[in-house]
A and B are shown apart, each in its own frame.
Chain A
């Protein structure tokens, strides 16, 4: 296995330690994404998020395992976080879904097979007749998220 060198943004092929990437990346350094008490982590500035679109964030669970969350900013500047893993596609893509509403419930639709999930609870509202991939639950895990001094924080335990 020979790592690629030509692409300037490319990194070696080994799985990176999230600790390293978070602390060595410039944007991330601005917001000091170290895990703080109670599992709360600073993720990014609010103005880095486009309203009604998601963004992926690379965090750690309490046991140190790398974990991806999808963070969404709504029109009212509230923020929501759910797991980035789409259980129906087994791919880390939820942040790239379309944000909308079902009734008054804010939602995100999987960009792969279009299942609709409630952003506040992670509940799957429309499965489209599909079942999740082996070993994955039907709903998304939702995480507490809030904005403190213009910085988005997510609690992953």
Chain B
């Protein structure tokens, strides 16, 4: 127990147990129990911090959550519309909840606190004793006393369930608004209104738009985001919001919500100024109220506007009861932001472990998470400090408004507002209260226009406010903890893992520190090229080079003491081969290009462990005729190949020797098959379900679309393999969201998901665009693939590429949907060139004696099979013999696993009678 005023406390290190503890029994038997009421983000942080710091296991933690799920990222709630998967909003490492010292009671609200007995009673009537009690009950969405606020169709925006219900409502209204007429189906738009033009209100409006509803934001004050923005910023913001197709009605008070005559659902808003608005759905986002009823009934002191009053240690008047997050009334107010809540969680953890931490004051910096609208503010955004000066940059045509608030000498940074372009936010926010180097105006000019001085952040500057990580901590991660990448730093310090707004800064600090520590930040491909793959791609494209010799001569590194660059290696040669192929340089085996190819591309087949190859003809969309199946079956049988169905809905034939490949392909090509590019870093397959042509549930012809996509992108060389999928309805039988590009049919068109990967690091594809018609779908995929091909690293699949792309998937969306870089035409042209120039690689080889000559087994005996190959029969087919089986020879011992003699034979094996 930590009685205040005990003089021993002042000398006690935060990491050491108290004097009392040391004199008592070992921690295992004296483990104390902390009960956390509430299962939100702050509770999660508390548990995470306590478990990571309490290495001796002195505390056992029970968390009581009202919602039926693990703590999730409420800040990212709007993302739920995109990911549609509650699991993806899960915070932190799920293993936390498997910790034996942590118990999470879900769907288990605490009903009562007995402070005298130190117990809580849950909704099932169970009583739990505590040593320390932490209240983290958070907030409720506030519901203003407007008549009609309880009508069906009026929602708040606070939990995953709220969001799911809102979505269900909008979808039902849309369905009800569909009318079949003679001219076809007419759809009445769903009309939505959001009461409240703050941070959450705008996110809710964006969510309504994302659901295909109209949205009008009703704001009581003079401008949007009144807490964070001044009038100028608010007006710039209004223009940006209007551009997103969202109407704004400022200075408007809602008098009443009226029901629809027929349905009884909410149907109209009446305003004080006499105006009206017909609606089908209303979202109320006027702020939050602390959920302090439990604290109140426990007799704890309440703040003027609610909340449990705590001191700077986050302790209530009861020394064993603490309050953190939105329910805590600290310094006279409740804070509805996650960053100060996390800070409070850390303070209480420190105190429980005997430390002396105090709440340092709230960081109220915020950033709006609405796609395509950049808004951020921090510090004294309204310029309320006495004698402060404001520096403003406004570009109304571009919808940009940026303001810095500075001390009277125009040097110390007091706050800032950024609308339309929040790039300076990440760098400047940590400088709050510090002196800015140089002319402050330089920070506000558009990127490239001004020479904003490089800021060297002080160690104590807070870089990640969500997780309270300072610049010094990030530097320490590099210097003391051996982190050598942003990914390492993220997992080591948790910086940038919540909202991600600070990631560009984390990256910069990490790289600067690595350079300083002498750790080479090398982007070099290999010893022959100092560039990344993306840089080399551009260099080759711009310089219009078409051969490896020219490329390495122009861009290669000349080794020390040598007069010319080397001749490449197994890293850079395939990369250059891929770049040349992506830029259209003819057949991949033509001229010098053939020397750059990995054996798979060189033999146009996949090498297996014994040096033989497997052969995969293309089966577009997985659709194949009975005749086609018979051809493949006969070829496999005639050449003695092992056959297996692949994961990509086609057939793989194994055990083909080099000298057999042309004969096998002659048969396949004659029967109308072509290369499946299973060997290439290129498009593999487009997997599909059977779709509307046969399926009872399908809403579009998924097979037809898959065939079209596969034929469009076949042969497209890329930094890594590409897999696509098309599902005919939301049941998603083609598992398209596990693909680089996933297409899912809707009743209005196609939803496009991108950057999903299976393999070693599985990742669900993210929604890029909804309800596209087929033409727009193709164009969007064209651009997505081309952008990936141009900018990804060597062997980087789409998921990590999209994650590391500057600005993430949102920036990618802007490039390909809104042409933010002005390269869309260029990407389109590149894809058109690919589609136009496609030829079947195997057909071309069969027609060219020079290329065919490479498929001999031995240069001095081109038709003699490799005599070292050996096979045994297994499950009715052949497989390579093991070293032991080969050593034993054809008359080897009985293999117990096969329950019969092992038959080792040479390069061919007949296993069928």
Nearest chain A residue, comparing its CB with the CB of B602: A96
Answer whether residue A58 sits at the interface, using C-beta atoms and an 8 A cutoff.
yes
Answer whether residue B15 sits at the interface, using C-beta atoms and an 8 A cutoff.
no
- A93:B859 contact, CB within 8 angstroms: no
A104–B570 Cα distance when bound, in Å, is 15
Question: Among residues 47 to 79 in chain A, which have CB atoms less than 8 Å away from a CB atom of chain B?
Answer: 48-53, 55-59, 66, 68, 71, 75
Answer whether residue A22 sits at the interface, using C-beta atoms and an 8 A cutoff.
yes
- B906:A93 contact, CB within 8 angstroms: no
- In the assembled complex, how far is the CB of residue A41 from the closest CB belonging to chain B, in whole angstroms? 9
Q: Classify the secondary structure of B's interface with A.
A: loop
B443-460 vs A: 1/0 string, CB under 8 Å?
Answer: 000000000000000000
A68–B658 Cα distance when bound, in Å, is 15
Nearest chain A residue, comparing its CB with the CB of B912: A2
- B854:A56 contact, CB within 8 angstroms: no
Contact-size category for B: 35 or more
* Known pairs A9-B663, A93-B607, A103-B566; A111 contacts B905 (CB<8 A): no
Question: Among residues 103 to 130 in chain A, which have CB atoms less than 8 Å away from a CB atom of chain B?
Answer: 103-104, 106-107, 109, 111-112, 114, 116
Contacts of A12 in B (CB 8 A): 908
Contacts of B607 in A (CB 8 A): 93, 96, 111-112
Contacts of A50 in B (CB 8 A): 594-595, 854
Answer whether residue B300 sits at the interface, using C-beta atoms and an 8 A cutoff.
no
Answer whether residue A28 sits at the interface, using C-beta atoms and an 8 A cutoff.
yes
A22–B867 Cα distance when bound, in Å, is 13
A91–B867 Cα distance when bound, in Å, is 11
Nearest chain B residue, comparing its CB with the CB of A9: B863
Nearest chain B residue, comparing its CB with the CB of A6: B638
Number of interface residues of A (CB under 8 A): 65
Contacts of A53 in B (CB 8 A): 594-595, 602, 854
- B567:A44 contact, CB within 8 angstroms: no
A73–B568 Cα distance when bound, in Å, is 15
- A4:B569 contact, CB within 8 angstroms: no
A75–B567 Cα distance when bound, in Å, is 9
- B861:A22 contact, CB within 8 angstroms: yes
Nearest chain A residue, comparing its CB with the CB of B597: A98
Question: Among residues 547 to 575 in chain B, which have CB atoms less than 8 Å away from a CB atom of chain A?
Answer: 559, 562, 566-570, 572-574
Answer whether residue B611 sits at the interface, using C-beta atoms and an 8 A cutoff.
yes
- In the assembled complex, how far is the CB of residue B666 from the closest CB belonging to chain A, in whole angstroms? 10
Nearest chain A residue, comparing its CB with the CB of B608: A91
- A7:B663 contact, CB within 8 angstroms: yes
- B570:A15 contact, CB within 8 angstroms: no
Contacts of A43 in B (CB 8 A): 859-860
* Known pairs A50-B594, A107-B569; A98 contacts B574 (CB<8 A): yes
Answer whether residue B857 sits at the interface, using C-beta atoms and an 8 A cutoff.
yes
Question: Among residues 843 to 879 in chain B, which have CB atoms less than 8 Å away from a CB atom of chain A?
Answer: 853-854, 856-868
Answer whether residue A87 sits at the interface, using C-beta atoms and an 8 A cutoff.
no
A49–B854 Cα distance when bound, in Å, is 9
Contacts of A131 in B (CB 8 A): none
Answer whether residue A10 sits at the interface, using C-beta atoms and an 8 A cutoff.
yes
Answer whether residue A89 sits at the interface, using C-beta atoms and an 8 A cutoff.
yes
Contacts of A38 in B (CB 8 A): none
- Within the complex, which residue of B566, B638, B909 is in contact with A1, where a contact is CB–CB below 8 Å? B909
- Within the complex, which residue of A3, A58, A100 is in contact with B858, where a contact is CB–CB below 8 Å? A58
Contacts of B861 in A (CB 8 A): 18, 21-22, 25, 27-28, 58
- A100:B570 contact, CB within 8 angstroms: yes
- Within the complex, which residue of B663, B853, B865 is in contact with A11, where a contact is CB–CB below 8 Å? B865
Contacts of A48 in B (CB 8 A): 853, 859
- B910:A97 contact, CB within 8 angstroms: no
Answer whether residue A101 sits at the interface, using C-beta atoms and an 8 A cutoff.
yes
- B859:A71 contact, CB within 8 angstroms: yes
A13–B907 Cα distance when bound, in Å, is 6
A78–B907 Cα distance when bound, in Å, is 33
Answer whether residue B185 sits at the interface, using C-beta atoms and an 8 A cutoff.
no
Answer whether residue B640 sits at the interface, using C-beta atoms and an 8 A cutoff.
yes
Contacts of B910 in A (CB 8 A): 1-4, 13
A62–B148 Cα distance when bound, in Å, is 101
* Known pairs A15-B867, A27-B862; A4 contacts B598 (CB<8 A): no
Answer whether residue A147 sits at the interface, using C-beta atoms and an 8 A cutoff.
no
A97–B663 Cα distance when bound, in Å, is 23
- A8:B569 contact, CB within 8 angstroms: no
Answer whether residue A82 sits at the interface, using C-beta atoms and an 8 A cutoff.
no
Answer whether residue B501 sits at the interface, using C-beta atoms and an 8 A cutoff.
no
Contacts of A2 in B (CB 8 A): 910
- In the assembled complex, how far is the CB of residue A23 from the closest CB belonging to chain B, in whole angstroms? 9
Answer whether residue B659 sits at the interface, using C-beta atoms and an 8 A cutoff.
yes
Contacts of A9 in B (CB 8 A): 659-660, 663, 863
A17–B432 Cα distance when bound, in Å, is 83
A77–B853 Cα distance when bound, in Å, is 20
B874-913 vs A: 1/0 string, CB under 8 Å?
Answer: 0000000001000000000000000000010111111000
* Known pairs A6-B638, A16-B867, A98-B573; A106 contacts B567 (CB<8 A): yes
A116–B569 Cα distance when bound, in Å, is 9
Contacts of B10 in A (CB 8 A): none
A43–B858 Cα distance when bound, in Å, is 10
A55–B599 Cα distance when bound, in Å, is 12
Contacts of A85 in B (CB 8 A): 868
- A1:B570 contact, CB within 8 angstroms: no
Question: Among residues 302 to 325 in chain B, which have CB atoms less than 8 Å away from a CB atom of chain A?
Answer: none
Answer whether residue B527 sits at the interface, using C-beta atoms and an 8 A cutoff.
yes
A121–B859 Cα distance when bound, in Å, is 22
* Known pairs A27-B862, A112-B609; A56 contacts B569 (CB<8 A): no
- In the assembled complex, how far is the CB of residue B641 from the closest CB belonging to chain A, in whole angstroms? 10
- Within the complex, which residue of A97, A111, A134 is in contact with B883, where a contact is CB–CB below 8 Å? A134
- Within the complex, which residue of A13, A58, A96, A100 is in contact with B905, where a contact is CB–CB below 8 Å? A13
* Known pairs A96-B603, A100-B570, A104-B559; A4 contacts B859 (CB<8 A): no
- A101:B660 contact, CB within 8 angstroms: no
- B860:A22 contact, CB within 8 angstroms: yes
Answer whether residue B157 sits at the interface, using C-beta atoms and an 8 A cutoff.
no
- A52:B860 contact, CB within 8 angstroms: no
* Known pairs A9-B663, A104-B559; A25 contacts B863 (CB<8 A): yes
Task: Enumerate 9 A-B pairs (CB-CB under 8 Å) in ascending A order.
Answer: A4-B638, A10-B639, A13-B908, A43-B860, A48-B859, A52-B592, A89-B611, A98-B570, A133-B883
Nearest first, the 3 A-B pairs at minimum CB distance are: A109-B570, A101-B566, A91-B611
- Given A8-B663, A103-B559, 6 more A-B residue pairs with CB atoms under 8 Å apart are A7-B638, A10-B865, A25-B862, A58-B867, A93-B611, A133-B883
